[in-house]
Structure 1
């Protein structure tokens, strides 16, 4: 998509996420990788009331070239774009939210728990995949960005490229080729967290997961 289309999609997806309760107040952000830079939602902006012309425009080095002041999370988003570029799950859009059930699962998790959720449904396995649980760092901390990049590399090397990570106590970062596709990953991830909160279940077994790999090319 071109830049104008990307701007419109960020606004549409932001409004949809806000109206359905995936984000609240001024929490959350969305970015898109362009051929010559990035778009990202402005700092302290409500995703439900974004304006396409006010989205932050940055060059490939992360320097702002237009729009309102950008979210501090651009550093993390850029690391996701860089780290995922050569994997089977490259990012062209990154979405970060503070989705309720995902944060609740993180609050209940062991601080050093490797992954946020077990594979309890086939669609979680097929549409989301592994979700590393990144140790807590303050919002915007460079250590968090580096930990996410390391997780992306580690899972790619293991043959299970990822499309999402969970920042402990903060919220998920998900990515895909378009804002709509990234939003679909987030929706499936939050729904899985909601199900896990309501009814902790026995995970799918290895034979069932292998069947999803063979038939649906699941990354798990």
Structure 2
């Protein structure tokens, strides 16, 4: 069961992921405390937790601000994310039990419902369930935890990608190919598909950069 600071951490993280607060914006402890009806102590603890995964930066005399990622670093982080996911997929294709494969198919079908409704927010959460099923199927707890840490760090940018035209439909089709490759027990094919699913390059990179202005700090 989550304690208060962990619940607040998740709420503030959601604000960052949805763009309610944007890269470069200041996070005022008093305002957050008033917003959530708590004292500043659990807010401070939540901000420290978010700083530990790189979503915010805490600076002396400036307090907490939402972290900004330069485009080149963003590409590098997605490159690492792609390799972590590929490793999870390769292991999952070899190690998933029939029950775990059935679970993957179930969350995949949930993704289709969100894709059919063209709901990027719902699809985002269903997509999280899909990748969590892959991590579980890898049966490598350390690898899974590293993948989760980086996925969390990239949340605002992964979420933004789903608003690019046709990305939800393409993502779902990529999921289908991954499910098929796992069903065949083809680890190398699964790894290749996941690497392509995560990587941002070419048009996908250009689209993401074009949308980054949506996350730019608001000006008065």
TM-score norm. by structure 2 comes to: 0.26
Q: Which has the larger Rg?
A: 2
Larger helix percent: 2
Task: Give the TM-score, by structure 1 length.
Answer: 0.26
Relative to its length, the structure with more strand (as a share) is 1
Higher relative contact order (CA 8 A, sep 6+): 2
